[in-house]
Amino acid sequence: MTDLAALWDFDDPAGSEARLRAAADLAEGADRLVLLTQVARALGLQERYDEGHAVLDDLSVDNVEVAVRTELERGRLLRSAGEPEQARPHFEAAAGGAGEAGLEALHVDALHMVALVAPTEDQLRLTEEALAVARAASDPVARDWDASLLNNLGMTYADAGDWESALARFEEALAARERIGDDARTRVAKWMVGWALRGLGRREDALAVQTALKAELEAAGTEDPYVDEELALLEG
C-alpha cells in the first residue's frame, strides 16, 4: 500500500493532486482506487468540486476500504462546497463501514467529520465519542487522532465562552502533539494554549507562551503572523 501521507501537502493541494495522480498511474487494483479517492480530496481543496465528484463516480467500490474512502471523500466535497447536511449521511456511512471492517483510523476520521457537520448542540458529545474510539484503538494512526479531536473540543468550548474547559483541552492537545512529534503542529498547539490563556485574562501567562513560541520560530528560520498578532495584542 502506498504511503498516502508522503504524497500529501495540505498547503499545496495542486502539487498533492499531481503526485497522487502520478502514483495512481503506477498502481493497480485497490491501491489505485484508494489513490484516486485522494485525488478527489485534493480537487475539493482546490474548490474543483464537480471534478472531485466525477473522480469518485468512476470508482468501483467492491473493496471495503475503497467504499469507505469514497463515502468519506464524497462527504468532504459536499461539506467544503457548503452542504454539511448533505455531507453527513456520507460521513455516517463511512464511519459505519470502517467500524465494521476494523479500519480504525478511517473510523475515527469519519466520526470526527460527523461531529464537524453536526448541529452545535451535538458537537461536543460526538467529538468526545470519536475521542473515546481513538483512545481505545490499537492502530497508532487512529490513536494519534486524539490531538486533532482535543483541539476541536477546545474550539467548541472556546466558541461557547468556556475558556477554562477550552484551555484544559488545548493543553491535552499539546501533550498529544508533543507525543506525535510533528514540530509545526506542536507549535500550533502551543499557540492555542496561549490564545486560551488570553481568553481567560491570564495575559502574562499568554505573553510568556507566545514570546517563547516567537523565539522557537526564529530559531527554526520561520515566522507565523498569528503569533505576531497575539504578541501585538498582549504587548499593546
Q: In the predicted model, what is the mean pLDDT of residues 74-87? A: 97
Percent of the chain with pLDDT over 90: 96
Alpha helices for the chain (secondary structure H): 4-7, 13-26, 29-45, 49-57, 64-80, 84-101, 104-117, 120-136, 140-143, 146-159, 163-180, 183-199, 203-219, 225-235
**Which pLDDT value is given to residue 18?**
97
Q: Which fold has domain 144-236?
A: 1.25.40
72-104 in b/e form (b: 16+ CB < 10 A) is bbbbbbbbbbeebeebbebbbbbbebbbeeebb
Domain residue limits, the chain: 144-236
- pLDDT tens-place string over residues 8-66: 999 999 999 999 999 999 999 999 999 999 999 999 999 999 999 999 999 988 999 99
Check pLDDT > 80 for residue 86.
yes
**Which pLDDT value is given to residue 167?**
98
Check pLDDT > 80 for residue 1.
no
Q: Record the pTM.
A: 0.92
Check pLDDT > 80 for residue 2.
no
**Which pLDDT value is given to residue 236?**
80
Cα pseudo-dihedral 55, 15, 140, 108, rounded to 10: -40
